[in-house]
Structure 1
Amino acid sequence: MAQHSAARLRALSYPPPRSSATEIPDAYARLRAEEPVTEVTLPSGDTGHLVSRYDDVRAVLADPRCSRAATVLPGAPKLTAVPFDAGGLFTMDPPEHTRLRGMVSRAFTPRRVADLRPRITALAGELADSMAAAGGSADLNAAFAFPFPVAVICELLGVPYADRERFRTWSDAVLSLTAHAPEEMLRHKQALLGYLGNLVAEKRREPGEDLLSALVAVRDEEGGLSERELLTLAMTLLIAGHETTVGVLGTSVFTLLRHPGRLGLVPKDDDGVGELDELVEELLRINPIGDGGPLRVTTEPVQIAGRVLPANSAVIASICSANQDGARFAAPGRFDPRRSADSAQPPNLAFGHGPHYCLGAPLARAELAIALRVLATRFPDMRLAAPVGAISMHTGLLVNRLTQLPVRWD
């Protein structure tokens, strides 16, 4: 019986299916218990290795032998038929990654994010005003969860907000696992790079106070970037700067609206900053941004959970599974807004770990906290306008995002 079970697990396709929008894939609990490192078939058709336990995932994320740069080498296994380009933050290792990250990290420091909070709060308030003016119901995804983080990253980068629907289509294709055909993925990626190339040319003619103008100046005056690196970095910042927050904001509100306390769980006064931070951390833990981090490829044999993976092995560290590991989180499937107040609890891995820890994490946390407080203050009686079972998740994307989130209020 054990042999049959192991064979079934090894035949798993990545990402494993989820039974509903409210639950992570059932396979992860079985994998953590029976086969913490298991072979999977990646969307590209290549074989990969899925790591599911918290301690092992954390170790992989920090292990320099589990390389992102190796994913673009000839003959390396691929996650998708159209992988990320070389020369970007997702496909570099230190020291090159450290150099590129250093050029943009100042825009995402906690101090810089604190300076941005008034403007972020104003953007959230404007969208809430528009929702209220439109009536007593809305698809929260379309009315708030998408336009809010898009507006923030557009202002930060200096990208025209009016073009949001265009790069929404492009970014979905870039982040596709199976949702788009390879030729469609490539066509949309080239369109996005072309758009950014035109925008870079505009910044050269008329630079502003935005991050993209600053990066253009670094490229042209200091020679710290090649033109391809500049465009790839701009694409990465634009996509990662809104897609992850769009998804986790929608699923976080969905989590709260399924709870008896609904948006009343969100602290509404300034004295509740600590409690709001704790709520945000728990929402990030229980609502995975995606099933796993970006693909890594081993540069030499690596032992994980007692299993030795040879060099040139594809590895996916499942943050989704790690944050549900009962060996590290008591009753991991239970939503507990005060969980992170317990100092014995480990930090969640929502934004990764190690040298590739998400540089936009402070901004994403601030956006989520501000959005929740604005929604809770403006719509205290917000509730779901559809049965829980009718809410579905997009499939075939690197990020988890609800297809829609119908809500209503009085």
Structure 2
Amino acid sequence: MPEPAAFPFPSDHPLAPAPALAEARKGGAPMRIRLPFGDPAWLVTRYEDARHVLSSTDFGRDALRAGIPPERTARIGPIDVSESTIMTMDPPRHTRVRGLVGKVFTPRRVDRLRPWTLEVARGLVADMRRQGPPADLVRDFALPLPIEVICELLGVPSADRDSFHAWSDAFLSTADPDAGKVRENQARIDGYLGGMAARRKGESGGGLVGALAREHESGGEGGLTEEELLGLLRALLIAGHETTASLIPGFVHLLLGGDGFSRLAADPGLIPGAVEELLRSVPLIRPGSFTRYVLRDTELGGVRIAAGEQVVVELSAANRDPEAFPDPDELDLARTPNPHIAFGHGIHHCVGASLARMELQVALEALTSDLPGLRPAVPLDRIRWNEERFVRAAEAFPVEW
């Protein structure tokens, strides 16, 4: 067997999948890779293979169930930041916990937030206009919008929101190889969330946190354990805050690189479909972030893979597969159908997908309607991106209008 290739592969630009991913996809079969931590793994890049791995019961997210101890899991950081969350559960535990989340984190709850979210977004744009150009799209819009939304959803007081963001930012960094420091930041987040849940469970209503805390209090086989409660709240933090804050600059970058932004300003009806195409096109999660563990001997892309081995599905490569998406490197804002898997597929499809979609649609609506002349204040190739985070993000994005 050939020596595993070092992964992630180098990329020409943070918003473009590494060229080596396309070469791997052309090869058809999964290839052997080695991430910075853990054992070697198989890399999956084809769309159909990706969907199969994400939905098949031959693969799981619980490493111990596959007989793989934590120190051997293939990962990009010193720990898997999704561990002890719904993202690393397998059925039947996953089925039970996901069902409880579905009872309280509903599309209706998200839809009720849409008018308020648009008001917040337009308020941030108004602040940018009052201050005058140049503005920093990251600092002045992309970060505060999802922070306000997820804190409103979770019930975090305004005075605590800066600390909340700082802890989250430190926890999701993959640059520090010291697992102890990562655990310290996780403990800060869990301590805060646990204290908030304890307070909210007895309140009338209590919002999303109160509802989940009461599921914890119900106990028994159908309730949430304390670990599950904190893991759910942490997963919602990642899904509802970090992803959106990172995607907004990526979306605007691609739109301003062509005529996309002006097209949306002229025709707001394109925004929902444009969000789907941008989700397909903009790599979000750092490659190698979600490993699957092989539960029984199986075959994938003509390769026999044994139980106890590990598989990395690279979503950005699967979403550029020409077998699934004609002209995959073209940004087609009216692409239909668009069966991308940016939010995953199968039972682990992102629990916060409806919230992220709503925020992204609202963000583009506010920016294109209130700042139709938005343009970069520096050449786009000078925008710096932090690629040492679980979720890749622009460090700053100067804009003017």
Structure 1 and Structure 2 fold alike (TM over 0.5): yes
Task: Name which of 268, 274, 278 aligns with 1:279.
Answer: 274
Structure 1 residue 205, shift from structure 2 partner: 5.4
* Counterpart in the other structure of 1:265: 263
Q: CA–CA distance in 2 between the matches of 1:206 and 1:386?
A: 49
Aligned residue type for 2:304: V
Task: Name which of 9, 25, 31 aligns with 1:32.
Answer: 25
Deviations 1:202-237 (A, max 9, x none): 224545531001111121135501112111211111
| CA contact 1:292–1:317 (8 Å) conserved in 2 | yes
Q: Does 1:98 align with 2:81?
A: no
* Counterpart in the other structure of 2:348: 356
Q: CA–CA distance in 2 between the matches of 1:335 and 1:117?
A: 26
| CA contact 1:52–1:317 (8 Å) conserved in 2 | yes
* Counterpart in the other structure of 1:333: 329
Task: Name which of 35, 40, 58 aligns with 1:65.
Answer: 58
> Matches of residues 300-339 of structure 1 in structure 2 within 5 Å?
300-339=296-335
Q: CA–CA distance in 2 between the matches of 1:192 and 1:25?
A: 33
> Matches of residues 4-43 of structure 1 in structure 2 within 5 Å?
11-34=4-27, 36-43=29-36
Structure 1 residue 355, shift from structure 2 partner: 0.8
Q: CA–CA distance in 2 between the matches of 1:23 and 1:88?
A: 29
* Counterpart in the other structure of 1:399: 391
Q: CA–CA distance in 1 between the matches of 2:266 and 2:161?
A: 30
* Counterpart in the other structure of 1:389: 381
Structure 1 residue 82, shift from structure 2 partner: 1.7
Shift in alpha-carbon separation, 1:36–1:405, aligned structure 2, 3 A: farther
Structure 1 residue 262, shift from structure 2 partner: 4.7
Structure 1 residue 21, shift from structure 2 partner: 3.1
Q: CA–CA distance in 2 between the matches of 1:99 and 1:267?
A: 43
| CA contact 1:295–1:315 (8 Å) conserved in 2 | yes
TM-score (ref. length: structure 1)? 0.89
| CA contact 2:104–2:212 (8 Å) conserved in 1 | no
Shift in alpha-carbon separation, 1:107–1:219, aligned structure 2, 3 A: closer
> Matches of residues 7-406 of structure 1 in structure 2 within 5 Å?
11-34=4-27, 36-70=29-63, 75=69, 77-78=72-73, 79=75, 80-84=77-81, 87-204=84-201, 206=203, 208-221=205-218, 223=220, 224-259=223-258, 261-266=259-264, 272-273=268-269, 275-290=270-285, 291=287, 294-340=290-336, 343=337, 346-406=338-398
Higher mean C-alpha deviation, range 325-334 or range 244-253: 325-334
Deviations 1:378-402 (A, max 9, x none): 1110101111221132122222212
TM-score (ref. length: structure 2)? 0.91
Structure 1 residue 254, shift from structure 2 partner: 0.8
Structure 1 residue 118, shift from structure 2 partner: 0.8
Deviations 1:24-49 (A, max 9, x none): 21111111112641111122142122
| CA contact 1:50–1:316 (8 Å) conserved in 2 | yes
Aligned residue type for 2:399: V
**RMSD of aligned Cα (Å):** 2.2
Deviations 1:173-204 (A, max 9, x none): 43333455322212211121122222223224
Higher mean C-alpha deviation, range 141-150 or range 164-173: 164-173
Secondary structure of the corresponding residue to residue 308 of structure 1: strand
Q: CA–CA distance in 2 between the matches of 1:175 and 1:65?
A: 29
Indicate the percent of aligned positions where both proteins have the same amino acid: 37
Aligned residue type for 2:284: I
Alignment coverage as a number of residue pairs? 394
Q: CA–CA distance in 2 between the matches of 1:71 and 1:264?
A: 50
Aligned residue type for 2:359: E
Q: CA–CA distance in 1 between the matches of 2:304 and 2:106?
A: 38
| CA contact 1:256–1:265 (8 Å) conserved in 2 | no
Q: CA–CA distance in 2 between the matches of 1:376 and 1:180?
A: 40
Aligned residue type for 1:396: E
Deviations 1:123-163 (A, max 9, x none): 11121122112212211011111111111111111123433
Q: Which runs of 5+ in 1 are unaligned?
A: 1-5
Q: CA–CA distance in 2 between the matches of 1:48 and 1:163?
A: 40
Structure 1 residue 373, shift from structure 2 partner: 0.8
Q: CA–CA distance in 2 between the matches of 1:308 and 1:294?
A: 21
Secondary structure of the corresponding residue to residue 93 of structure 1: coil
Aligned residue type for 2:228: E
Secondary structure of the corresponding residue to residue 398 of structure 1: coil
Q: CA–CA distance in 2 between the matches of 1:169 and 1:11?
A: 36
* Counterpart in the other structure of 1:408: 400
Aligned residue type for 2:137: L
Aligned residue type for 1:354: G
| CA contact 2:246–2:393 (8 Å) conserved in 1 | yes
Secondary structure of the corresponding residue to residue 329 of structure 1: coil
Q: CA–CA distance in 2 between the matches of 1:215 and 1:124?
A: 28
Q: Which runs of 5+ in 2 are unaligned?
A: none
Q: CA–CA distance in 1 between the matches of 2:139 and 2:91?
A: 38
Aligned residue type for 1:385: A
Q: CA–CA distance in 2 between the matches of 1:214 and 1:177?
A: 32
Q: CA–CA distance in 1 between the matches of 2:379 and 2:56?
A: 43
Higher mean C-alpha deviation, range 200-209 or range 96-105: 200-209
Aligned residue type for 1:89: I
Deviations 1:279-328 (A, max 9, x none): 11111111022235621111111211111111111211111100111222
